[in-house]
Structure formats: structure tokens, C-alpha cells
Amino acid sequence: MARLTLIDAAKRTGNEGTIGVVESLSLMNPFFTLAPIKSINGAMYKFQRRSALPSVGFRGYNEGVASTKSVIQDVIVECKNMLGVSEVDKALADLSKEGVQMFRSKEDSAYLAAMGQTFASKAYYGSSATTAADIDGVGTVLGTLGGTCISATGNTASVQTSMYFWSFTDAVGITGRLPGVEIPVANGSLPSAMDLGVQMVLDSGGSNKFPAYTTIFEFHPGLAIYDTRSVGRLANIQAAATAAPPTVALINQVITAMMPYTCDLITCNKATYNSIQGLKGTTFTQTAPYVSDDIFKRAAYFNGIPILVDENITSTEAVVS
């Protein structure tokens, strides 16, 4: 079955406004161009994760085997409400030499960038147990359920970072079809920008009003991790990354531990990205033949897996045991 991304779904609507918002959001956060979405009814999405198989053995005639059962966990993913409200002073916009729409669009693009960064940050570090409005990120899921988390050499608190590994495609194991990672979207509502025109809004003091061009930005996403092996984490990378960089062996250890899932994306911050440039298996492209100026190009793949630089991955993570 085809897996749609946000931009795929937006194009199917035929709504130019929706397409424009999603395209802008995807430019701000390329994660949305790779991760599949899933339209759900309402804001709650429930699925079952099998965590243990029953025991089955050979037996001798007139002998029996123990009766056991599998263990299935009910998992509930909530699609949380992301909201931004842009209020641009009407008088200021009207006086702009570039025109009202251009003046407003500059502010609007900032809200889309903030929306993309907010989702990305929570996709790593969000915890609904700590902040009820958050989605649960990959760090929370792996910390709660275990799974594919390999430790590098760093061991000093709050000066660590991680590389994250994502599988967006289904795997097939002995337990059957295994979905990877998806972004559930409540009621199929794609990111939107609603122009409310001129509204009377409160100033920063909260007591006086002034007319402002007002736009509401809204999105209702979640993060569904169907199996703890569909995501991976190489944790405890020293934040400077150059002192003890990730190695091919460590990266391969994470990718191997994710099997039967195939890793579709690796994300890391700039410091880690710089540190892995010389690793065997990193290439700037998958298809172009080698030419003399290739030495000036930056690696964009590890063994064919895209590497995405994401500065929402901090350099101040706690040590992961």
C-alpha cells in the first residue's frame, strides 16, 4: 500500500493554500518529506504492540507442553494541537514599502519555521508524562520500553548528544507484518494557515487594543512508533563529537539491532555530522560517478541511508544508561 507524506496528501486536496503551507513547512523541516502520515478519526489512535510470543516446543508422544500465551500491549497515541497566532500591527504593515502581503508573509514564514522546529524537538524529547500537551518522542519511547539504544563512549552528564535512526517502511518478521514509524494526523487535517483579516488585539501590556492583521496556524500531529526496533539511537556521543566520534561499528550496531526493519533515515546535529564525514561508507550522492571536485562535497548518505542534520537534537542530553 502506498505511504503518503504530508506533501503527497496536500497535493491530493487540490487546495493551493494547503499545498503552499505544507510545502513551506516541509522546507523548514525535511523530516515531513520522508515520514508517512496516517489520517485517523478523532485525536486518539490505538494500536496493539506484541511484546512477547507464546512458547511452542516439540513433544514426545504421550507427553505434553506448557500452555502459555503471547503478550500484547495496547498503545494509545494522541494527536496534540499545535497552534500559532500571528498578529501584525496594521499600521506598520500598511506603511511597509514592500506591501502588506509581503510584510505579512515574512512573519508567516517564521511561524511555519517555528512549527517545524517544535514538532522536531518533541519528536525526540517530548514527554506527555512531563508536559501533558506534548507528543511522546523517540527518547521517551525507548526510555520507557527499551529497544534499539546503543551507547557510545561519552559518560559525562549533560554534555552528550545522539544520532537517531528511523524506519518508515513495514518489516516482515516471524510475527507478521510490522509497521514502522508514522505521523498520525487527527481527522486528516493538514497544517493550515487561516487569515482572519484585521482583528482588534491586546498590546503587550494586555490592557490596550490595536488593529492587527491576524493569522492562525494550526496542525494536529502525533508520532506512532509501532515497534521499538523501528527507531534506533546511538546515545552518549560526546557533544564536541571530535574527541570520540561515532564509528562505523557503532552505527552498524544500531542498524543491525533494528532488523528486521530497514533504516530509512539518520538524523544528527551539526557537530556529529562534521565528525562522521570521513567515515567509510559515507557518500555525498548515491549515483554520480567520482570526479575531481568531489572532495569539496559533504557526505549526505551513510551506506545509501540519507543523513539529515537537525539542530533540534541538543548537545546537552543526559547520559543514557
Sequence length of the chain is 321
Q: Rounded to whole angstroms, how far apart are CA atoms 129 and 59?
A: 46
Asked whether residue 116 carries a pLDDT value surpassing 80, the answer given is: yes
Asked whether residue 157 carries a pLDDT value surpassing 60, the answer given is: yes
Q: 17 φ, ψ to 5°?
A: -60, -45
Q: What does the pLDDT average to over 128-143?
A: 88
Is the CB of residue 282 less than 8 Å from the CB of residue 276? yes
Segments in 154-269 forming alpha helices (H)? 248-257
- What is the identity of the amino acid at 73? Q
Q: Among 152, 132, 160, which Cα is nearest to 253's?
A: 152
Is the CB of residue 138 less than 8 Å from the CB of residue 149? no
Pairing of strands 305-309, 265-268: parallel
Share of the chain above pLDDT 70, in %: 93
Q: What does the pLDDT average to over 74-91?
A: 90
CA-to-CA dists, residue 273 to 159, 240, 244, 313, angstroms: 16, 11, 13, 12
Q: Over the stretch 195-205, which tens digit does the pLDDT of each residue have?
A: 999 999 998 88
Q: Over the stretch 250-260, which tens digit does the pLDDT of each residue have?
A: 999 999 999 99
Share of the chain above pLDDT 90, in %: 36
Asked whether residue 300 carries a pLDDT value surpassing 70, the answer given is: yes
Is the CB of residue 172 less than 8 Å from the CB of residue 206? no
pLDDT at 141: 84
Is the CB of residue 181 less than 8 Å from the CB of residue 167? yes
Asked whether residue 293 carries a pLDDT value surpassing 70, the answer given is: no
Asked whether residue 239 carries a pLDDT value surpassing 70, the answer given is: yes
Q: Over the stretch 31-77, which tens digit does the pLDDT of each residue have?
A: 888 899 988 898 888 888 777 778 888 999 999 888 888 888 788 88
pLDDT at 242: 62
pLDDT at 57: 87
Q: Over the stretch 5-40, which tens digit does the pLDDT of each residue have?
A: 888 888 888 888 888 888 888 877 888 888 999 888
pLDDT at 286: 53
Q: What is the CA radius of gyration of the chain?
A: 23
Q: What does the pLDDT average to over 237-244?
A: 72
pTM, entire model = 0.86
